[in-house]
Amino acid sequence: MSTKISFRDVHKSFPVKGGMFTALQGVSLDIADEEFVTVVGPSGCGKSTLLGMAAGLVEPTAGDVLVDGSPVTGPGPERGVIFQQYALFPWLTVRRNVEFGLKLTSLSAAECRHRAERAIDLVGLADFADALPKTLSGGMKQRCAIARAYAVDPQVLLMDEPFGALDALTRVQLQEQLLRTWSQERRTVMFITHDVDEAVFLARRVVVMAARPGRIHTIVDVGLPYPRTEEIRLSPEFGRIRNDVWHAVYHQDALTA
Amino acid sequence: MSTKISFRDVHKSFPVKGGMFTALQGVSLDIADEEFVTVVGPSGCGKSTLLGMAAGLVEPTAGDVLVDGSPVTGPGPERGVIFQQYALFPWLTVRRNVEFGLKLTSLSAAECRHRAERAIDLVGLADFADALPKTLSGGMKQRCAIARAYAVDPQVLLMDEPFGALDALTRVQLQEQLLRTWSQERRTVMFITHDVDEAVFLARRVVVMAARPGRIHTIVDVGLPYPRTEEIRLSPEFGRIRNDVWHAVYHQDALTA
Amino acid sequence: SGDDGTEVRFGYISDFNGASLLAIAEKQGLWKQHGLTAQIKVFTNGPLQIQALGAGDLDFGYIGPGAFWLPASGQSKIVTINTLTYADRVIGQPGITAMTDLRGKRVGVPEGTSGDMVLNLALRRAGMTVQDIQKVPMDPSTVVSAFVSGQIDAAGIWYPLIGTSIRPKVPGLVEVASTRQFPDTAFPTAFVARKDIDTAFSKKVITVLQAANDWRAAHPDEAISEAAALLKRDRAEVAADAANVRTMTTADLVSKTRDGTVRRWLTGLSDFFVQTGQLKSAPDPAEYYTAEQYMEASGR
Amino acid sequence: MSVVTVPDETTPAQPAARSRTGRTLTLNIAAVAIGLAGWSALAAIGVQGLPGPIVVAQRAGELIADGTLAGDVLASLRRVLIGFTLGTALAVPVGFLMGWYAVARGLLEPYVQFFRTIPPLAIIPLAIVLLGIGEVPKIFVIFLAAFLSSVVAAFQGVVGVDRTLINAARVLGASDRTIFIKVVIPASTPFILVGMRVGLGSAWGTLVAAELIAAQEGLGFRMQQAQLYYDLPTIFVGLITIGVLGLAMDRLLLLADRHLTAWQERR
Amino acid sequence: MSVVTVPDETTPAQPAARSRTGRTLTLNIAAVAIGLAGWSALAAIGVQGLPGPIVVAQRAGELIADGTLAGDVLASLRRVLIGFTLGTALAVPVGFLMGWYAVARGLLEPYVQFFRTIPPLAIIPLAIVLLGIGEVPKIFVIFLAAFLSSVVAAFQGVVGVDRTLINAARVLGASDRTIFIKVVIPASTPFILVGMRVGLGSAWGTLVAAELIAAQEGLGFRMQQAQLYYDLPTIFVGLITIGVLGLAMDRLLLLADRHLTAWQERR
Ligand SMILES: Nc1ncnc2c1ncn2[C@@H]1O[C@H](COP(=O)(O)OP(=O)(O)OP(=O)(O)O)[C@@H](O)[C@H]1O
Ligand SMILES: Nc1ncnc2c1ncn2[C@@H]1O[C@H](COP(=O)(O)OP(=O)(O)OP(=O)(O)O)[C@@H](O)[C@H]1O
Ligand SMILES: [Mg+2]
Ligand SMILES: [Mg+2]
């Protein structure tokens, strides 16, 4: 497998009152083609910043971010992004939000509609297809954002806590759907989560980040086979890896992050 | 213990294109003084709407909402709210956001400052006290919102997925802090979460809601003693209740909600 | 203000007609001689001064011939005739030689002004009416830009605008008609007063104006210099302006008042305004020209 | 499925909305009545030269009867509509250019800000020299006023568009052009509508100046004529007609606003 | 602790910001240069009556030398500043009242919208009758223009304030007054500043009209006087001075904007 996304000694600092704040320091990471990587780490450790770089929305202060071997110069529809803050277009209904990206492709109107319909069904918003975002609950907004990213069916999915606002069952269902799509259509996924269970269940590798300054602490290889089943989730091996990751994250002192 | 918050056959419908959407149907619930109640349920089942009514921000279409025996006519500082979408004032720094409510009390400026400082420390944002919200990560914004509500030290805390964007360790720390404050200062807490573990760990009673239309499905009494320790979390009794709640929520079919 | 009977609030327009007497009265100390002080305020046109008089913010003002319908319709009183002006012309683009050439042509004119009057007189003398031309109403500065840029074929307009702005840009312009060609119709300028002005006070002011008027008639060159100094303009500009003005001595004006000449001037103007519709009917000049006071003040 | 489709209009929401509109209307009428009363009072105590409502109404009747008012309204309305439409239509892309591209901002802003402060009266000589005395310079002066008022609002709207929304569109593969049309314009609609409403006021407010340019009819022209004759009732008829027309157009914009920004969570 | 405090000014962020300001300045200067060149060209090919930059500069020199310009600038600046300040200061609470209380909106809106479309020239007769010919009516006309432009923006800003922020303040125990001062005003600052900038343009644009009211000095007055003799160089000096003063004040507002809305995520 070749490398899809490559971070090479990436640094990021932000100007703040009285100086610079180092958000990321010397991050290097290769994500292989068709790999599923999850990223965990304490709040504020730079996960969203790292994902933003792969998306082409954040420029590194130093270092290189490559996708398919060439430097990232901006966003592109082949890299779908689900934002931590949903970022729905408030003036469009659920359906039109989902169709937004589709209409930018060369697909026919009927095909757009069809695909949007399918994505909306997938996240269980069929009855709310014509609702405006302001009338949706938090979880429904998040599902709409997921549908929008899924609809264009990008090669790379960059997902920032996509299931954070969902109840456990919806979450499990969407996890399974995501894994199914990933394995069938061979996509590359970079997935940020706070849920260690989720991180281990989904990923081939879990990237554990540390804070102050933001950097990669450990990368845990999840040796478990796909497809991941409920059985695997309950296996002692899963529990062991889960504890490893937990330990890697939380030998750190969270609340000073 | 007397009743602090009382929902009496509460209905809520919203006008939508082509008719009315019933968000809540016939919800009755009494929350005792100094009780800790958590609310779980599928996405879109009306949890935020119910909490909004106790806060005085949403008016029921029918039925009554009482606090201390009198109907709720609007919000008040004795009922602190943490919103699902943080709702920070973007033009104020973390410190000024937290001080906002304090300055409306009769406290001295020094006391305001001191209390704000303490609340900010509590959520681990001391180094970011002078940062604007736009420079905070998702989890940091959420912690700022928590600090703002804690700072005014209200009798009733209405919390809408307050720990949703936090990593597991920060989350556990804040859970323990919340329980400590609650038991020492005898507050009443209504707490929405998607995390069944969290719901059971914190609550005296877990209210399980169902969707379409939104209503109360079951109320699960958590018989576990306080203070809740790691030991309790690992006890078989905890696991049993956890499974009960899980079952109550998820015999429902989540994705059609 | 006029309340204590010593301060005169006087409005004027910044040209030779409007400014020369006030400049002289101040310079020669004529106000002081009569126990008065003058507070002079410059305006851009007559009607604004009439409004200010009506609102009680001004005691006296100056108007050109185009604004005579305002006192005639009872808005204020004329206390002295100032000068006669011969500044108005009908001008045509090069190539136009007579009024008859204007048939069907676009003629710009500020309506209800002396420019409009001269256009009407010239048309009448040529046996034409406004129906024969394409009359385009516009304000004075618009007439200048429109004529200079060739947007109109002719205009009813006046000096100094013709001299300072139009001729330099259109040297070949033709003066098709001029006020000087209508001895029967006079274009007087005048000073007006508040309707409720105190008679004694008014008489004192008239006396000052008469004294200044005689000084102006006796010292035409110095009068131009005084006016230029007050207006902060080039003496040459003001001189060109004054070349189209006929001043008269107070004695002359008194006799013209007595023998009905002034009355004829005023009636002539009123008739014009009735034609344009600005007046419903021509009132008796005695109703708005305080001839008695003028003669009493002159002591004759 | 708990979405109840109610085909007739008797859902609870409707009467409430209707009564709210009703109350607003009542208040508006009350406001107008108070205004008329105040005006009558001022005229009655004889404020110098102020005609009362009845005199003005009579004059309006005459002007309507002989068709003058209709002609004037048509002429003025045409000028204002064309000038205003062109002005605001240009303001949006120019505001966009200025908000989006630093180079455009650097080059255009001095002009926009400079001309914004120059009174329309002062533009007239130049307009005549360059554009003649037909309809074009009149519409141009109105256009300029509308444009200059709206462009600041459009610019500020573009600058203030939530960055996350732009990012969301970019990651979906939207080009600058698409982002402009599909994100920046809708997101800055509230600002653009403020600009349009202010621009509408400017357009009407400039009408009198515009009709100084050799107009043969129009409300501004009629008012100038009336000023020459000190015909205050006609001036008042003109003022009130302009006010009412402006108000009506403003209501239309407001209606558009309600529809276009229904997605905003608002009080 | 990874917040590095850098006391000297050589952090990487500083030069970038400085060079950006530098580039904007360069562009502005380029824009002005292009404008001057265009003007010279127009004057050189002999566009009728258009004085070239050199003639205008000479006239400006004269007017500066004899102190006329300074006196005029002072007089006009005073009127504009007072009128504009009062107008925008009143617009914010009135916009608030209209945005917040339906009753106030119903009563006030017809007037605001009505008067917004009425040309300032038409207000002058009434202003003279009611307020005389001193400074008060001049400032009043400017005040009115600034007020009417700003109030729409303030109103729209208030109406559009994010409901969640208002709720957040309410649950912390804020009264209506506190919410207004501490939430509504800051949240609608971008709108209010648009209003102020447009209002500033209106204020300057109304100056000439205002100084028709028996002004004895001032830029607008000087331009009218110059019109009697059609002294175009003086008119141009007036126009440019107004433009430059307006531009300078606008820059100050923009600076205020940068500071007051630094919290906005913007491009
Ligand atoms: N525009 C900015 N200016 C200053 N600091 C910023 C800016 N954006 C992000 N940061 C800082 O960079 C750090 C990393 O932010 P980031 O959003 O990547 O965190 P995160 O790991 O996604 O956290 P969370 O899990 O809470 O979302 C934070 O400390 C944040 O304060
Ligand atoms: N203003 C509104 N107009 C129309 N429908 C609304 C409105 N507000 C909420 N709803 C609907 O009411 C239902 C309940 O919403 P609520 O926000 O209470 O859900 P929730 O239980 O908090 O969900 P989540 O866990 O996803 O936050 C949803 O289906 C939502 O679409
Ligand atoms: Mg993040
Ligand atoms: Mg919710």
Range from A215-219, B119-123, B189-193, C268-272 carrying the lowest mean pLDDT:
C268-272
Q: Do D205 and E119 touch (CB under 8 A)?
A: yes
Question: Where residue A25 falls among pLDDT bands split at 50, 70, 90?
Answer: very high
Quote the pLDDT of residue A9: 95
Q: Does D11 touch chain B (CB under 8 A)?
A: yes
- Is residue A226 lining ligand 1, measured as CB closer than 6 Å? no
> Which residue did the predictor score with more confidence, D261 or C93?
C93
Is it the case that chain D and chain C have 3 or more CB pairs lying under 8 Å apart? yes
The secondary structure of E186-230 as a DSSP string is HHTHHHHHHHHHHHHHHHHHTHHHHTTTT-SSSHHHHHHHHHHTT
Q: Does D16 touch chain E (CB under 8 A)?
A: no
Quote the pLDDT of residue A39: 96
Q: Most distant CA pair in chain D: distance in Å?
A: 72
Closest-approaching ligand to the CA atom of B94: 1
* Closest CA to ligand 2's atom 23: B44
Which among D208, D229, D235 is the top mutation candidate for probing chain C, defined by the most C β-carbons within 10 Å of its own β-carbon? D229
Q: Do D133 and C146 touch (CB under 8 A)?
A: yes
Q: Does E37 touch chain D (CB under 8 A)?
A: no
> Which residue did the predictor score with more confidence, A127 or E46?
A127
Q: Do A19 and E1 touch (CB under 8 A)?
A: no
Indicate if the pLDDT at residue D133 is higher than 60.
yes
Nearest to C282 by CA among C258, C300, C266, C298: C266
Is it the case that chain A and chain C have 3 or more CB pairs lying under 8 Å apart? no
* Domain residue extents for chain E: 20-48, 51-260
Q: Which residue of B has its CA nearest to D164?
A: B134
Ligand 2, CB cutoff 6 Å, lining residues: A 135-140; B 14, 16, 21, 23, 43-49, 84, 214
| Residues ≥6 apart with Cβ < 8 Å to B208 | B40, B41, B216, B217, B218, B219, B220, B245, B248, B249
Indicate if the pLDDT at residue E31 is higher than 90.
no
> For chain C, where are the alpha helices, taking DSSP H only?
16-27, 30-33, 46-54, 69-72, 114-125, 140-148, 161, 199-218, 220-231, 235-242, 250-258, 261-276, 291-298
| Nearest atom in ligand 2 to A141's CA | 26
Tell me which amino acid residue D260 is.
Answer: L
Contacting residues of E for D164, CB less than 8 Å apart: 265
What's the rounded mean pLDDT across residues D33-62?
A: 82
Query: Number of CB pairs < 8 Å for A and E?
Result: 26
Q: Give A106 to chain B, closest Cα distance, Å.
A: 31
Is it the case that chain B and chain E have 3 or more CB pairs lying under 8 Å apart? yes
Which among D170, D171, D181 is the top mutation candidate for probing chain A, defined by the most A β-carbons within 10 Å of its own β-carbon? D171
Quote the pLDDT of residue E15: 37
Quote the pLDDT of residue A118: 93
Cα A165 to averaged position of ligand 4 atoms, centre (Å): 8
Which tens digit of pLDDT belongs to each residue from B167-189?
888 888 899 989 988 888 888 99
| Nearest atom in ligand 1 to B139's CA | 26
- Chains in touch with B (≥3 Cβ pairs < 8 A): A, D, E
| Nearest atom in ligand 1 to A12's CA | 12
| Residues ≥6 apart with Cβ < 8 Å to A31 | A3, A4, A5, A6, A37, A188, A190
| Nearest atom in ligand 2 to A139's CA | 26
> Considering only residues 148 to 177 of chain D, which have any Cβ-Cβ distance to chain A shorter than 8 Å?
164-165, 167-174
Q: Does D46 touch chain C (CB under 8 A)?
A: no
Range from A167-181, A229-243, B86-100, C136-150 carrying the lowest mean pLDDT:
C136-150
Indicate if the pLDDT at residue D5 is higher than 50.
no
Q: Do C145 and E48 touch (CB under 8 A)?
A: yes
> Considering only residues 200 to 259 of chain C, which have any Cβ-Cβ distance to chain E shorter than 8 Å?
232-233, 237
Rounded to the nearest integer, the mean pLDDT of chain C is: 88
Quote the pLDDT of residue D116: 80
What percent of chain B lies above the pLDDT cut of 70? 97
Quote the pLDDT of residue D21: 63
Orientation angle between helical segments C235-242 and C220-231, nearest 10 degrees = 130
Q: Do A132 and D183 touch (CB under 8 A)?
A: no
Closest-approaching ligand to the CA atom of A53: 1
Contacting residues of E for B76, CB less than 8 Å apart: 171, 173
Closest-approaching ligand to the CA atom of A23: 1
What's the rounded mean pLDDT across residues A193-202?
A: 92
| Nearest atom in ligand 2 to A128's CA | 31
Cα B56 to averaged position of ligand 1 atoms, centre (Å): 33
Containing C177, the helix (H) or strand (E) segment is strand C174-178
3-state secondary structure string across chain D: CCEEECCCCCCCHHHHHHHHHHHHHHHHHHHHHHHHHHHHHHHHCCCCCCCCHHHHHHHHHHHHHCCHHHHHHHHHHHHHHHHHHHHHHHHHHHHHHHHHCHHHHHHHHHHHHHHHCCCHHHHHHHHHHHHCCCHHHHHHHHHHHHHHHHHHHHHHHHHCCCHHHHHHHHHCCCCHHHHHHHHHHHHCHHHHHHHHHHHHHHHHHCHHHHCCCCCCCCHHHHHHHHHHCCCHHHHHHHHHHHHHHHHHHHHHHHHHHHHHCCCCCCC
- Chains in touch with A (≥3 Cβ pairs < 8 A): B, D, E
Which tens digit of pLDDT belongs to each residue from B211-243?
888 999 999 999 898 888 888 888 999 999 998
Q: Are C19 and C12 in contact (CB under 8 A)?
A: yes
Which tens digit of pLDDT belongs to each residue from B54-96?
999 999 999 999 999 999 998 988 999 999 888 899 999 999 9
Quote the pLDDT of residue E12: 34
Indicate if the pLDDT at residue A62 is higher than 80.
yes
Quote the pLDDT of residue C113: 82
| Residues ≥6 apart with Cβ < 8 Å to A140 | A125, A128, B43, B44
Rounded to the nearest integer, the mean pLDDT of chain A is: 90
Is it the case that chain D and chain A have 3 or more CB pairs lying under 8 Å apart? yes
Q: How far is CA B68 from CA B58, B76, C108, C262, E174, in A?
A: 18, 13, 83, 94, 21
Q: Do A254 and B17 touch (CB under 8 A)?
A: no
Quote the pLDDT of residue E177: 87
Question: Where residue D149 falls among pLDDT bands split at 50, 70, 90?
Answer: confident
Query: Number of CB pairs < 8 Å for C and D?
Result: 60
Which domains are present in chain A? 3-78+154-250 (3.40.50.300), 87-153 (no CATH)
What's the rounded mean pLDDT across residues B129-151?
A: 92
Q: Do E2 and A15 touch (CB under 8 A)?
A: no
Q: Give A44 to chain E, closest Cα distance, Å.
A: 12
Quote the pLDDT of residue E41: 81
Nearest to D169 by CA among B126, A74, A110: A74
Cα B137 to averaged position of ligand 1 atoms, centre (Å): 4
Mutate which of B21, B38, B85, B195 for ligand 2 pocket (most atoms within 8 A of beta carbon): B21
Q: Do B255 and A170 touch (CB under 8 A)?
A: yes
> Which residue did the predictor score with more confidence, C277 or A52?
A52
Q: Give B243 to chain D, closest Cα distance, Å.
A: 28
Q: Which residue of B has its CA nearest to D7?
A: B18
Closest-approaching ligand to the CA atom of A141: 2
Indicate if the pLDDT at residue B208 is higher than 90.
yes
Q: How far is CA E216 from CA B171, C22, C58, E82, in A?
A: 73, 15, 14, 18
- Is residue B138 lining ligand 1, measured as CB closer than 6 Å? yes
The secondary structure of chain E as a DSSP string is --EEE--SS-STHHHHHHHHHHHHHHHHHHHHHHHHHHHHHHHHTT-TT---HHHHHHHHHHHHHTTHHHHHHHHHHHHHHHHHHHHHHHHHHHHHHHHH-HHHHHHHHHHHHHHHTS-HHHHHHHHHHHHTTSHHHHHHHHHHHHHHHHHHHHHHHHHTS-HHHHHHHHHTT--HHHHIIIIIHHHTHHHHHHHHHHHHHHHHHTHHHHTTTT-SSSHHHHHHHHHHTT-HHHHHHHHHHHHHHHHHHHHHHHHHHHHHTTTS---
> Which residue did the predictor score with more confidence, E20 or E227?
E227
Indicate if the pLDDT at residue E91 is higher than 70.
yes
- Is residue A45 lining ligand 1, measured as CB closer than 6 Å? yes
Indicate if the pLDDT at residue A28 is higher than 90.
yes
> Considering only residues 33 to 92 of chain A, which have any Cβ-Cβ distance to chain E shorter than 8 Å?
61
From first to last of its 300 residues, chain C has per-residue pLDDT tens of 445 668 999 999 888 988 999 999 999 999 999 999 999 988 878 888 888 888 888 899 999 888 888 899 888 899 999 999 998 999 999 999 899 999 999 999 888 788 888 998 899 889 998 899 998 888 787 888 888 888 899 999 988 888 877 888 888 999 999 988 888 788 899 999 998 888 889 999 999 999 999 999 999 999 999 999 988 888 888 888 889 899 999 999 999 999 999 999 999 888 888 887 778 888 899 899 998 888 888 876
Indicate if the pLDDT at residue D130 is higher than 80.
no
Question: Where residue D256 falls among pLDDT bands split at 50, 70, 90?
Answer: confident
Q: Which residue of D has its CA nearest to C108?
A: D214
Q: Which residue of C has its CA nearest to D209?
A: C139
Question: Where residue D124 falls among pLDDT bands split at 50, 70, 90?
Answer: confident
According to the CATH classification, is domain D51-260 in 3.30.1010.10? no
